Amino acid sequence: MSGTATVHPQATLRPTKEELLAKWLPGQPWFDGNPAELEVVGKFRFQDPQGEVGLDNMLVRAGEHVYYVPVTWRSAPLSARSRLIGELHHSVLGHRFCYDAATDPVFLAEIRRVIVEGDREADVVTSTGEPRPLGVSVRGNGVDSDGTLRLVRRLHTYYPGAAKLTATWTLDGVAREDVVAVIG
């Protein structure tokens, strides 16, 4: 079980997550959308076993493509090797550093564990304990691999690998199943 992540739905973020992503995404080689059209169309969370790092996973539409954009939230900066997306003020948690999760060791260890153990996303509750469904379910297929972990940044892009993380969700009323990460 991936644990339970706590979110603060009443919190205000300055800048917003979407504003941070709109500045960062155009510089990514896998992104070819219009940042002015960004729309978060699905979310799920993982839980850091130590409870220190927010492991936020977003499905973001820009034009005709949907992108998998996992980010991590930290209270202190990471090493220079990690890619900083930006900083924001969270009205409950204070100053936060947002990183490309593909460069955060906590996220990389947790997504690999979820895939290999056949686990799923974390349950999400509000700070008052109310369940908060985020609309996307993911499940690892339980295949062990010591290969390279690859995030499928633009959905429907194929990477070979037997170990997979698959997202089940709905877009515009249509049920979807998309591979979002592979190890191979």
The SS3 of residue 39 is: strand
CB atoms within 10 A of CB 115: 26
- Classify strands 84-90 and 94-100 as parallel, antiparallel or unpaired: antiparallel
What tokens were used for 44?
Answer: 């799920």
Q: What CA–CA distance (Å, rounded) separates 1 from 4?
A: 9
Query: The tokens of 76 are what?
Result: 């202190």
Tell me the whole-structure pTM to 2 decimals.
Answer: 0.94
Phi, psi of 177 (to 5 degrees): -140, 115
- The per-residue pLDDT for 49 is 92
**Residue linked to tokens 């509000």:** 126
pLDDT for the residue 166: 98
Determine contact, residues 68/41, Cβ cutoff 8 Å.
no
C-alpha dihedral, 137 to 149 to 67 to 82, nearest 10° = 110
Look at residue 1 in the predicted model and tell me its pLDDT.
53
Within 10 A of 168 (CB to CB), how many other CB atoms are there?
A: 13
Per-residue pLDDT of the chain (184 residues; tens, 9 = 90+): 578 888 888 788 899 999 999 999 999 999 999 999 999 999 999 999 999 999 999 999 999 999 999 999 999 998 877 899 999 999 888 899 999 999 999 999 999 999 999 999 999 988 888 898 889 999 999 999 989 999 999 999 999 999 999 999 999 999 999 999 999 9
5 burial class (0-12, 13-18, 19+ CB within 10 angstroms)? Answer: buried
